[in-house]
Structure 1
Amino acid sequence: MKKYLWPSIKLTIILIVLLGGLYPLFLSAVAKMAPGKGDGVKVVHNGKVVGYENIAQQFSDDKYFQPRPSTVNYNAAGSGGSNKAAGNPDYLKSVQERIDTFMVHNPEIKRTDIPVELVTASASGLDPDLSPAAALVQVPRIAKLRGIAPEKLKDLVAKNTKGPLLGLFGVPTINVLKLNIALDEMK
């Protein structure tokens, strides 16, 4: 028994030092080199922090672009999805309610033209980005409420679209918070 006990104790101490001390310190150092220095990238507007680039926030006014629905009510303290299967009756009911709500606020859009991301929540419930299609489908509503030509709004969407990483990885996205700030700054 002594033959196995002492090596086990030494291995435990080594792993505690490595995984409980050195590894977290290494990750903290790497995070400090990332944008936002590990604290998230703050979005500042008129000298005031209005949100974070990587966390969605709710816009309840119809004159703004709406983000994806959130199962955690956009609370970054506890991210999470619904964990319900696509065929679950409760899930299907909530998606149908989101479709009905979208149609009330966007009556000029056909039901079949609603991008799926506008009626389904992301896995974290905090996805800050939309596809260009999900932003463009909201243009008629915003143009009408703000009295802005739809073409100007389409240009705004195009200007705020980020391409795939290195032009290869991922899909084009638009940060909803930054898009809405740019919308407010339009003359």
Structure 2
Amino acid sequence: MGKDFSSALRPAIVMTILFAALLGLGYPLAMTGIGQALFPHQANGSLVRDAGGRVIGSAVVGQAFTADRYFQTRPSAAGKGYDGLASSGSNQGPASQALVDRVKTDIDKRRGEGVHGPVPADLVTASGSGLDPDLSPAAALAQAPRIARVRGIPAERVRALVSEKTQGSVLGAAHVNVLALNRALDAGLR
């Protein structure tokens, strides 16, 4: 019995170490290397840099914009807002009174900013990850009058910029990247 156990134990330990090294070290290193070789921009987080080369954000991870002169993102359920270390949904369903209260507060906030008519859902609800970098074109257009007023430019120019930055999608609805939209505002619509 003892000899059978020890003869069975050695291959089990060797295989555990082999697969731990192969799948815990080899495979991740190979995938990282392939990613860096074939898709270096995406593998490094799709970072967006300013003219001086300083990282100002990511094209695929949302960030909070709070100044009135910028398009604002959707509410974030990630930590205290757009915290990548706390990415998750709120797990609040449509019957949750806390969600209803928060949405009502956000609707009142958007009304105070000058949004008229139906408030687009993505201006008052968080995404599943809490880090969504995009808005629907309707949500961006709802903010155009405020931005035009604060920046002192015609609302038509802001709406044209939203239209220009709107991207279609093979799967899903059209969307606008908020960071790209705000960078374009700063570059050409002061």
**For residues 31 and 83 of structure 1, what CA distance do their matches in structure 2 show?**
33
- Cα distance, 1:20 vs structure 2: 0.9
Partner of 2:147: 142
Flag the structure with larger Rg.
2
**For residues 99 and 15 of structure 1, what CA distance do their matches in structure 2 show?**
53
**For residues 93 and 30 of structure 2, what CA distance do their matches in structure 1 show?**
38
Q: Which runs of 5+ in 1 are unaligned?
A: none
Instruction: Give RMSD over aligned pairs.
Output: 1.9
Indicate if the aligned counterparts of 1:45 and 1:181 stay in contact, CA closer than 8 A: no
Q: TM-score, normalised by structure 1?
A: 0.87
- Cα distance, 1:14 vs structure 2: 3.0
**For residues 173 and 40 of structure 2, what CA distance do their matches in structure 1 show?**
21
**For residues 179 and 40 of structure 2, what CA distance do their matches in structure 1 show?**
17
Determine if the alignment matches structure 1 residue 14 to structure 2 residue 18.
Answer: yes
Tell me the secondary structure at the aligned position of residue 85 of structure 2.
Answer: coil
**For residues 66 and 174 of structure 1, what CA distance do their matches in structure 2 show?**
12
Deviation readout 1:125-147 (Å, 9 max, x if unpaired): 11111111111111111122222
**For residues 134 and 124 of structure 2, what CA distance do their matches in structure 1 show?**
14
Partner of 1:79: 87
Tell me the secondary structure at the aligned position of residue 86 of structure 2.
Answer: coil
When structure 1 is superposed on structure 2, of 30-39 and 17-26 the one drifting more is: 30-39
- Cα distance, 1:17 vs structure 2: 2.1
Tell me the secondary structure at the aligned position of residue 120 of structure 1.
Answer: coil
- Cα distance, 1:106 vs structure 2: 1.7
The one of 176, 180, 183 aligned to 1:181: 183
Match for 1:138: what amino acid? Q
